[in-house]
């Protein structure tokens, strides 16, 4: 097969074979570098996907709320130094919420709309009582935004007017189980008896102790706000555009709009820091690989000065000498990329199987993006070519007579 290869390829492969130890060490260095990049990139992608799945299936992506109540001083010229106190934030409904909800449903960026009624109450069973936060919902639309059925550990997600779904911690605190009845009392003195039809586990002890879901009309009656809602829950097609869309909605409607990006700002700060660290590690690893390739090829040029001089004396052009060393750099980068990608994937599979959460479930989903491997297989040989440029130019500029004399 070698007789059909161009001269430059034959010479490049022969040089690499003659310097086996140098070739093995530089391929090993590239393998480690590429393996680290593939492992870290896939690991970070999996961790982010795991968090996003948790956030986006346990809360709305945009929440529309009533505007804050603001106290204003009386406009009386005889009153000086008036003290204005912030009013108590009562259960306040969204003004003209059906029109706003209908308007949201027509927006092309909105995927799902669901009105809810939220408030505080007291859950009582026998001598036990716990303060809870009740959410009155329409299950058909709400469960497509907040995937409560996915977090059920017992029962089902059915919600009739006399039924309630509670968290596992709340059930434990009250000594309750499926089918048991709870007395729900509100601050306005209203009491209702509801039967437990489902138990959920959101992976958050506070939410499992506090949250409870009932039918929307039941919540409106219980909280004394017939026909009212306190929030409108939204999902969007582009989750990363949620904050921009929330600001646009708040500017054109008499509501406050909180996006999941705003409410999880600390997470995004941490993610940005991780991505920055990951990028810096990639850059420094790539630079170390590049300098390693360049160093090996410079040594190769020095060691093979006489060979290069003889080749030049036999009629080999400067361009051919240049291509010989560029091909060496590209082959080193390609070999290291292929082996490194395999090592990175193998390490990722091992880490995914070895590291588990307390309950035995996976710590992060295993996500292997095709784009990552395509970019790696392109950039690694390209890095090899660029690294080989300086020693290749040095080799091409050697004077054949001076090279032969040594």
Mean per-residue pLDDT, 18-22: 81
Q: Is the same domain home to 248 and 385? A: no
Least confident of 102-106, 155-159, 367-371: 367-371
Q: What is the mean pLDDT of the chain?
A: 83
- Supply 162's token pair: 């006399």
Per-residue confidence (pLDDT) for residue 56, from 0 to 100: 73
Angle at 329 between CA 326 and CA 331, to 5 degrees: 110
Name the pLDDT band for 248 (thresholds 50, 70, 90): very high
Tokens 């309950």 — which residue? 359
Domain containing 275 equals: 2-55+267-405
Name the pLDDT band for 108 (thresholds 50, 70, 90): very high
Mean per-residue pLDDT, 34-56: 80
Residue 76 lies in a domain: no
Per-residue confidence (pLDDT) for residue 205, from 0 to 100: 86
Mean per-residue pLDDT, 154-177: 92
Backbone φ, ψ for residue 397 (5° rounding): -90, -5
Q: What is the DSSP letter of 122?
A: E
Query: Regarding predicted confidence, which is higher, 310 or 80?
Result: 310
Residue 391 lies in a domain: yes
Confidence (pTM): 0.66
Q: What is the rounded distance in angstroms from the CA atom of residue 66 to the CA atom of residue 145?
A: 20
Q: Is the same domain home to 312 and 199? A: no
pLDDT above 50: residue 1: no
Q: Is the same domain home to 247 and 305? A: no
Residue 279 lies in a domain: yes
256 CB-contact burial (10 Å; exposed 0-12 / middle 13-18 / buried 19+): middle
DSSP helix, strand, coil percent of the chain (3-state; round to 5): 55, 15, 25
Tokens 């390829």 — which residue? 9
For 201, the 3-state DSSP assignment is coil
Q: Is the same domain home to 181 and 306? A: no
Q: How many domains would you assign to the chain? A: 2
Contacts of 61 (CB under 8 A, 6+ apart): 145, 234, 235, 236, 239, 242, 259, 260
Name the pLDDT band for 356 (thresholds 50, 70, 90): confident
For residue range 119-152, list pLDDT tens digits in order: 999 999 988 999 999 999 999 999 999 889 988 9
Q: Is the same domain home to 245 and 102? A: yes
Q: Is the same domain home to 231 and 363? A: no
């Amino acid at each position: 097969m070698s007789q059909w290869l161009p001269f430059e390829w034959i010479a490049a492969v022969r040089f690499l074979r003659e310097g086996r130890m140098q070739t093995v060490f530089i391929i090993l260095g590239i393998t480690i570098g590429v393996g680290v990049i593939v492992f870290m990139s896939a690991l970070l992608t999996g961790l982010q996907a795991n968090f996003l799945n948790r956030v986006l299936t346990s809360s709305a992506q945009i929440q529309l709320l009533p505007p804050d109540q603001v106290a204003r001083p009386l406009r009386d010229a005889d009153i000086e130094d008036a003290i204005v106190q912030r009013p108590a934030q009562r259960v306040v409904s969204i003004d003209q919420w059906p029109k706003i909800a209908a308007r949201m449903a027509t927006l092309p960026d909105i995927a799902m709309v669901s009105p809810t009624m939220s408030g505080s109450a007291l859950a009582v069973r026998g001598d036990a009582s716990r303060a809870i936060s009740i959410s009155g919902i329409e299950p058909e639309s709400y469960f497509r935004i907040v995937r409560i059925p996915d977090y059920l550990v017992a029962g089902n997600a059915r919600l009739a007017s006399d039924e309630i779904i509670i968290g596992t911690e709340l059930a434990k605190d009250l000594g309750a189980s499926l089918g048991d009845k709870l007395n729900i009392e509100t601050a306005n003195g209203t009491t209702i008896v509801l039967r437990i039809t489902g138990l959920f586990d959101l992976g958050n002890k506070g939410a499992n102790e506090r949250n409870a879901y009932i039918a929307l009309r039941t919540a409106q009656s219980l909280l004394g706000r017939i026909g009212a809602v306190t929030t409108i829950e939204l999902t969007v097609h582009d989750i990363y555009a949620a904050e921009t869309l929330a600001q646009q909605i708040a500017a054109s409607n008499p509501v406050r709009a909180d996006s999941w990006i705003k409410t999880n700002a600390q997470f995004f700060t941490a993610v940005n820091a991780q991505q920055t660290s990951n990028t810096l590690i990639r850059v420094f690893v790539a630079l170390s690989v590049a300098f390693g390739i360049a160093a090996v090829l410079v040594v190769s040029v020095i060691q093979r000065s006489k060979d290069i001089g003889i080749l030049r004396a036999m009629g080999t052009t400067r361009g051919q000498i240049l291509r010989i060393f560029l091909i060496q750099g590209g082959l080193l980068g390609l070999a290291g990329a292929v082996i490194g990608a395999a090592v990175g994937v193998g390490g990722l599979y091992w880490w995914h199987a070895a590291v588990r959460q307390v309950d035995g479930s996976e710590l992060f989903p295993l996500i292997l993006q095709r784009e990552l491997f395509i970019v790696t297989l392109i950039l690694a040989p390209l890095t090899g070519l660029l690294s080989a440029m300086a020693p290749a130019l040095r080799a091409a500029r050697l004077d054949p007579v001076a090279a032969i004399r040594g």
